[in-house]
Amino acid sequence: MLAGIGITKLILTNAAGSVDPEMPPGSVMLISDHINFSGSNPLIGEPSDRRFVGLTEAYDAGIRRALEHAAKATGTALHTGVYMWFSGPCFETPAEIRMARIMGANAVGMSTVPEVILARFLGLRVAACSVITNLAAGMTGAELSHQETKDMAPVGGARLATILQRVFRDGLLES
C-alpha cells in the first residue's frame, strides 16, 4: 500500500533484545544489516524473477546518515548493529543467543526483516531502528517476560522519538 501511494522512503521500528551487554535496555540501535534466521521469506511464492532481491544495501545509507546526524544533534546515543530475526513468538534460548553473538548479531527480535525484504522488493529505500527492551536470554540469569518488553519500550521509544522528530523537523530525508 505504501509503495502504491507513492511513498519512497520507509523507517521501520521494533522492540529487540540486546546481545551486547554494552547496549542495555532503553538503548536505540540503528540497524546496519540483518540475519534472517527465521527460515521464512515474504517473497516465497512470488512467480517472477523480481523475487531475487539484492539485499547488499538493504538499509539505505542516506537515511541511516540522517538518523545518525539527528542523534548527534540531539545528544541522543544511537548504537549501530546487526539485527537477527527469529520467528517467535517465544523468546530465544540462551544457546540461540550465544549462536547469534557468534554469527555477528547485536540484537534479536521477531519482526522487521520480512518488512525490509518486501519494501526493497517494492523499490523503497529503508532504514530501521530497534528499541532495546531487554538483555537477551541467558545474559542476566533471569527469565525474559513480555511485561519487561512492554515496560522498557517507552524508555527507548522516547529516545527514538527525539531522533525522528529532529530528522523530520530538519528535513533530513529530503534528498
> Domains in the chain and their CATH numbers?
11-169 (3.40.50.1580)
What confidence tens digit (pLDDT) does each residue in 128-166 have? 999 999 999 999 989 999 999 999 999 999 999 999 999
Q: What is the value of pTM for the model shown? A: 0.94
Residue 6 CB neighbour total at 10 angstroms: 6
Nearest to residue 71, comparing CAs of 153, 175, 174, 156?
156
